[in-house]
Structure 1
Amino acid sequence: MQSGESRVKRSLALPIVGWSALTLVLVGAFIATIGALNMTVYGSSMFVQRYLEAISRDQISQILEIPGVALSDAELEERGLPADTSVAMLRAGVISTGPKDVRIVSDVAEENGDHTVTASYRLGSSITESTFTVSPLERLWGVLDSWSFTESPLSVINVTVQHGALFSVGSLDLDTRATKSGDELKAFSQSAPYLVVAPAEYELGYESTLLKAAPVDLSVAVGEPSEAIIDLQPTTEFVSQVQSEIDEYLAQCTTQQVLQPAGCPFGIAIDDRIRSEPVWTIVTNPVVTLTPGEDAFVMPATEGTAHISVEVQSLFDGDIEQLEEDRPIVMGLTVRIKPDGVSLAIEIT
């Protein structure tokens, strides 16, 4: 028979063994859970997927906080970009379309611990893929994986505004002269680089009272620069304003009761004696057309017609007659929009 002491020792050992087994089970379950989380929620694939889905939800401020997204001055220099490259487009309300139906195609672990993740998604009407390299960071609470993009997925759009400086993208109006000074501000056409979130689609254009550009749809790939040319052209209102000013200018010319109105694009030379004050009227005004020139909008030499009415006496035989004659108006223009964006500076050529 077992002694009472032996029975007591065995009875004490049973709970200890039970608790030890339970502890092992719990530790195993915890490790398995951490492993599952690191394979899914905290995995490299999910890191990339969350980035792409955040673009689709236009969560730009959150995207910029993702490790490896923001570009340092050194990284900008490596890409051949100035340190003052505009970040004005890195905000909500700018993207036209973000990636949809995101699916991770592959996730390859590299020997150095990095992961190469390829994602498929629909952007607009196209299905495309992008590959990202992500690097491990210090684990959260020592157990959960965290990641950073090895190279920033941000891209650059080099925007050129022909015949102006302003353009719009999404709900935002931008000025390509924002970081310029001196003579650079005087250029008729302007350009500037803008950092943008990618992959995404953008629609750039412009419309104001005086200028309008057809929309430019741009699909921007990860890490690849894109070019956008905004072609500003005079609006009907712009042409109408110039026409009104020219009509008024010519009307002022007719108030000068002389044969050669000063500073005016019409006149007449008469060898006979003038017996009355000349009266000028405008028969047809030159019709304004505007096209972009090298440094301003221009109207080529355009014809109109003025009419003079004056009484003259022949120096040859003394006859008196009322001269009624149409005279050509020939004028060209250069037109610039003043810095206020509304007023016009018109120069007759």
Structure 2
Amino acid sequence: MRTSRTLLISALTVIVLTVAAVPLLNLTVYTPASAAEAYIGALEKGDAHRAFSYLSSPTPASTLALSSEVLSAAPDLPREAKAETVSVDGDHAKVRLSYTLSSQEQTIDLTMVRLPASAGLFDRWAIEQKKWPTLTLDVSGSSTATVNGYGVSAGSVPVLFPASYLVGFDATYLKSKSERAEVTAPGDSHTVKLSPEPTAKLEETVTEQVTDHLENCVKSKTLMPAGCVFGYDTDNEIIGDVSWSLERKPQISLTASGNDLEVTPSTVEVRIKGRYRDIVTAAEHDFDEKLSFVLGGSVVVKSSQVSFEPRRLGDVSVG
């Protein structure tokens, strides 16, 4: 009986001492500055879930780039956090936070907000973030991109701060070099413009389309095949149909200029055969001519669909 009473007294003593110590702990341990440092510590470890506990933010439009996997794959994360509480006004506080990112020391002023107390006793502070930092991914020819190697939708992508991010895309037909962006404060917004480069698959697809286009053109029985960039011009009267054949296919390669994709100019040779009546003598003759011209054109990739618009560069030569 005496033992139970002793244990009860001891427990009550611990509770009293703990309650008495709460104000001191809230002033020295559970401070706005320590919460800001703990947030940076969570980021340094790549722990996005723990970092969220130190943020007071609206619901993000997308969480694809807010995972620990994306954070851990960052080329650089903050470290060496030092914070000081500048002022406290009720449930809000001002904190000056310093940290190192990409070998550069950064200093930002943060607004902190007091959350419901932990265990009903200890203060909890969080960084007040009225809007999420974002990376706006301006991607031509692709609806998706990658952030630190993980797929996201193109457009505005919420991310955690401070951190470095590698942004790029590698789709079926288009890819880009990775661009580095650093987000250093709440509300930061960075636009990353990615210029497309053709993949081997795109060159293969365009080659097929160019070949199909030319092979359809040489099926024509007329001097000027409809929708084609070549033809045969003569003042003589053509007797019957003519026949075309493709003698030399173009060597297809693609070049990118900004958001424009162009077929690199390449020489094409076709042959036309037929019979004509001389406009002066009225004599009939067979003819067999080889024509050459330079083929170019533009390529558009939209919604995973590839279209090729042919263009002849210069005149058709006969010989």
Matched, 1:93 2:50: no
Structure 1 residues 250-283: Cα deviation after superposition (integer angstroms, max 9, x where no partner): 1232233443333332222344455685332334
Cross-structure match for 1:245: 209
The 5 A counterparts of 1:46-125 are 46-68=34-56, 70-71=57-58, 85-95=61-71, 96-97=74-75, 99-110=77-88, 112=90, 114-125=92-103
Contact kept in structure 2, 1:102 and 1:119, CA below 8 Å: no
Structure 1 residues 140-196: Cα deviation after superposition (integer angstroms, max 9, x where no partner): 3453222232445841222222344321112432233xxxxxxxxxxxxxxx32221
Secondary structure at the counterpart of residue 255 of structure 1: coil
Structure 1 residues 168 and 141: CA distance shift in structure 2, 3 A? closer
Structure 1 residues 316 and 135: CA distance shift in structure 2, 3 A? closer
Gaps in structure 2 of 5+ consecutive residues: 1-9, 312-319
Structure 1 runs of 4+ with >6 Å offset: 25-28
Let me know the Cα RMSD of the aligned residues: 3.7
Secondary structure at the counterpart of residue 117 of structure 2: coil
Cross-structure match for 1:43: 31
Cross-structure match for 1:212: 175
Gaps in structure 1 of 5+ consecutive residues: 1-21, 73-83, 177-191
CA distance in 2, matches of 1:57, 1:238: 40
CA distance in 2, matches of 1:247, 1:63: 55
- The TM-score with structure 1 as length reference comes to 0.69
Structure 1 residues 195 and 336: CA distance shift in structure 2, 3 A? same
Contact kept in structure 2, 1:155 and 1:197, CA below 8 Å: yes
Matched, 1:344 2:306: yes
The 5 A counterparts of 1:263-302 are 263-272=227-236, 274=238, 278-286=242-250, 288=252, 289-291=254-256, 297-299=261-263
Q: Which amino acid aligns with 2:216?
A: Q
Shift of 1:88: 3.4
Residue of structure 2 aligned with 1:132, choices 88, 105, 110: 110
Structure 1 residues 118 and 320: CA distance shift in structure 2, 3 A? same
Shift of 1:106: 2.4
Cross-structure match for 1:146: 124
Percent sequence identity is 19
Structure 1 residues 153 and 97: CA distance shift in structure 2, 3 A? farther
Structure 1 residues 241 and 136: CA distance shift in structure 2, 3 A? closer
Shift of 1:61: 3.1
Q: Which amino acid aligns with 2:140?
A: Q
| Count of aligned positions | 298
